[in-house]
Amino acid sequence: MKVVLFKFNYLGDNIVFVSAVQSLRARFPAWHLTLLTNPNEADLYRGPLGPQEIITCPKITFNKAYRKPWVLASWIWRVRRLRPDACLVPFDQSNVAHLVAKFSGARIRVGGNLENIRVPGSLTEEVPIPEDGRPVTWNWRMAGALVRLAGMDAHWPDDPPAPDFAHLLSQSVKTGSGRKRVVVHAGANKIFKQWPRDRFESVAVALSRDFEVVWIDHGSTTGPAPKGTIPALVSTLGELATRLAGANLFLGNNSGPMHMANALGCPGVVVTGPSAFGWDPYWHPERWTVLRHPNLYCAPCEKANKDLGICTNTASPMACMDYWTDERVEAVCRLQLNCDMKPGL
């Protein structure tokens, strides 16, 4: 059985797909899996549970292949040469992915649709959005549908395990202070999902008086680390995973690094507002505190099947994020670091 999996998207979107890929490989070792994904996210899938073949291309380049018919044709030809029996096209993939899958020659084509796909007949079975609105659940059910359509009798579990990122981890970072370690990542892939950087800095400085605080320098978080914190330049997923593994707390936005911390079992505090509920930390929820405005009419404005790029509250822009002051977030972090109780907010 030859299977082609499409996953051109950003870090968090890939992290919530890894467990489906790893479980397919573990349960059906005779299958040959080929993954198409971004260069920056390819390392997530390496290791003993990864697909046998990984083909990379930047997301934007692949998704715009339709503008150059010869480029689109080359992708179709490249996938056809793999002679796939099945294709798995997750809900967040583009029309190009659906076109390539449709003409791949695969008799089984499973996937999802965010209602923006204009390629009729691209899927032989469309898996609807799950009742919990969770991307992790949706990816898992699509993989389960693939197993069923392939005629395999093996039971596909109801719930996905956390992905195994052991292959990303190098020797643990040794700090030597003996204090609890907090890792702060102040970025996110969209500005309207970011709590202001100066507030993260204020909380990091305050926490550094009693805890070891590591300030991640990565992507939109580049720049001088706040006074009293430990700067950590991160250029690879392995470096990020190693910093997060074993930390006593992660503090950040709803972002790819947040999902990696969650998958690694790190406890955390996430400041969120616009992000759909489905993107809340999936694994180990008892270890996480999600800070949302308790009664704002427009929050969250993002839905599981509708990704936004701007704040929709014109009367009070970013009210969902501005609600959280430095002092309140610091208090939540301290409570989580010193006991297992959840704060009553």
Structure tokens at 308: 């936004």
Alpha helices in 150-246 (DSSP H): 197-207, 237-244
Q: How far apart are CA 309 and CA 292, in angstroms?
A: 18
What does each of the 345 residues of the chain score in pLDDT, given as a tens digit? 999 999 999 999 999 999 999 999 999 999 999 999 999 999 999 999 999 999 999 999 999 999 999 999 999 999 999 999 999 999 999 999 999 999 999 999 999 988 788 999 999 999 999 999 999 999 999 999 999 999 987 789 999 999 999 999 975 555 556 789 999 999 887 888 899 999 999 999 999 999 999 999 877 677 789 999 999 999 999 999 999 998 999 999 999 999 999 999 999 999 998 888 999 999 999 999 999 998 888 888 887 666 677 787 888 888 889 999 999 999 999 999 986 444 344
CA atoms within 13 A on the CB side of 325: 4
- Per-residue confidence (pLDDT) for residue 340, from 0 to 100: 43
Q: How far apart are CA 189 and CA 187, in angstroms?
A: 7
Q: How far apart are CA 110 and CA 17, in angstroms?
A: 14
- Per-residue confidence (pLDDT) for residue 339, from 0 to 100: 60
| 231 bridge partner residues | 215
Angle at 171 between CA 167 and CA 175, to 5 degrees: 140
Domains of the chain: 2-149 (3.40.50.2000), 175-338 (3.40.50.2000)
Residue with tokens 């030859």: 2
- Per-residue confidence (pLDDT) for residue 314, from 0 to 100: 81
- Per-residue confidence (pLDDT) for residue 307, from 0 to 100: 66
- Per-residue confidence (pLDDT) for residue 304, from 0 to 100: 65
- pTM value? 0.92
- Per-residue confidence (pLDDT) for residue 342, from 0 to 100: 45
- Per-residue confidence (pLDDT) for residue 345, from 0 to 100: 45
Q: How far apart are CA 339 and CA 110, in angstroms?
A: 45
Tell me the backbone φ, ψ of residue 205, rounded to 5 degrees: -65, -45
- Per-residue confidence (pLDDT) for residue 174, from 0 to 100: 56
